[in-house]
């Protein structure tokens, strides 16, 4: 009856849930022998001191930045070395040109000192008893510098081959005329071309290039280029061989195959000679132009040389004086 005797309206017994034994042990920091971990405790720091990396061992700059700096310095060194090599090369080129100009000047002085008098004409090489005397002086060894001598001789050989081709053209046109009388005009023109172009070519393009190589004359170079360009055009026309133009070229020679094979063969040989003339002329023109670019000649120098030669020419001065006196006399 005691259970019934208790007061149901009395306060119950205070039961503290945190008074449990397991909770009490956890709050005291001891759970089955596991202690609380404190990352900032002295003991923990001592235990892990051997695994830390000293700050002094870490590089103060990134590896990529160091590589970029090294590459930039190497590129700057390479550019400086290339610039220095270019300057050395330019200096060597200037020294070479100066030595070449000095050598040319010395050669001119030597030739001037050796040839104090007027040289006697020796071309064409005619016998002494011949009534016609030589008209020009020519000496490759004395007049032409060594670097231009070989090319100048080639131009002379081209002129000789040109003259021989024109002579053979006369014979071929003569054979052409014997087969068919209507081609007599070709025979007559071939004689005219031989008598006209042989001396004119010597005076108008061979002698100018000879003088240009002898004295580095800009005016002679320009005169040669102007005339020789037309000479190349004439060679091409002669190679083609238009009928009744006085040239035994390919068209005229091929047209004779069915008429007379022997005459056609002779004309083809001459047409081949004209072809060789044209090819050699183009080749030598290119060589002369390359030499001209190395001499320092220019159009301005050519104008100056022309003006000085015309103003100092005695014939021009006398003609101008006579014209001026006549004009004042009429007034």
The pLDDT score that the predictor gives to residue 304 is: 67
Q: Where are the domains of the chain?
A: 75-115, 148-318
From residue 239, alpha-carbon distances to 155, 184, 193, 301 in Å are 20, 19, 14, 36
Distance (Å, rounded) from C-alpha 216 to C-alpha 82?
Answer: 36
The pLDDT score that the predictor gives to residue 31 is: 46
Return the biggest CA–CA distance within the chain.
Answer: 187
Beta bridge partners of 123: 136
> DSSP per residue over 35-63, as a string?
PPP-TTSHHHHHHTTTSPPPGGGS-SS-H
Residue ranges for the chain with pLDDT beneath 70: 1-70, 107-118, 295-331
Contact 222, 299 (CB under 8 A): yes
The pLDDT score that the predictor gives to residue 82 is: 81
Residue 249 half-sphere exposure toward CB, CA atoms < 13 A? 19
pTM of the model: 0.60
- How confident is the model over 115-167, as pLDDT tens digits? 545 678 888 888 888 888 888 999 998 889 888 999 999 999 999 999 999 99
Give which of 193, 201, 203, 206 is closest to 241, Cα–Cα.
193
Contact 263, 179 (CB under 8 A): yes
The angle, 0 to 180 degrees and rounded to 10, between the axes of the packed helices 218-240 and 261-295 is 160
């Amino acid at each position: 009856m005691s259970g019934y005797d208790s007061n149901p309206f009395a306060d119950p017994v205070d039961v503290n849930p945190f008074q449990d034994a397991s909770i009490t042990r956890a709050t005291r920091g001891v759970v089955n022998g596991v202690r609380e971990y404190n990352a900032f405790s002295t003991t923990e720091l001592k235990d892990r001191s051997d695994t830390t990396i000293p700050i002094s061992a870490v590089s103060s700059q990134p590896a990529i930045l160091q590589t970029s700096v090294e590459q930039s310095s190497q590129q700057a060194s390479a550019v400086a070395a290339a610039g220095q090599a270019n300057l050395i090369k330019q200096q060597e080129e200037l020294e070479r040109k100066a030595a070449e100009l000095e050598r040319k000047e010395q050669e001119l002085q030597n030739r001037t000192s050796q040839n104090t008098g007027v040289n006697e004409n020796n071309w064409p090489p005619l016998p002494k008893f011949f009534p016609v005397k030589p008209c020009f002086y020519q000496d490759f060894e004395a007049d032409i510098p060594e670097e231009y001598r070989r090319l100048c001789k080639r131009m002379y050989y081209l002129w000789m081959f040109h003259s021989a081709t024109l002579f053979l053209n006369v014979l071929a046109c003569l054979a052409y005329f014997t087969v068919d009388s209507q081609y007599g005009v070709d025979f007559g023109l071939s004689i005219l071309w031989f008598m006209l172009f042989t001396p004119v070519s010597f005076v108008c393009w061979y002698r100018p290039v000879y003088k240009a190589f002898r004295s580095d004359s800009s005016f002679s170079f320009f005169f040669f280029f102007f005339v020789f360009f037309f000479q190349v055009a004439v060679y091409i026309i002669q190679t083609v061989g238009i009928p009744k133009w006085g040239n035994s070229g390919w068209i005229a020679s091929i047209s004779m195959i069915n008429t007379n094979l022997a005459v056609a063969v002779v004309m083809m040989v001459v047409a081949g000679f004209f072809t060789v003339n044209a090819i050699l002329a183009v080749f030598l023109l290119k060589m002369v132009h390359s030499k001209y670019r190395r001499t320092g000649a220019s159009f301005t120098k050519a104008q100056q040389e022309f003006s000085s030669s015309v103003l100092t020419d005695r014939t021009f001065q006398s003609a101008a004086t006579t014209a001026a006196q006549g004009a004042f006399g009429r007034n």
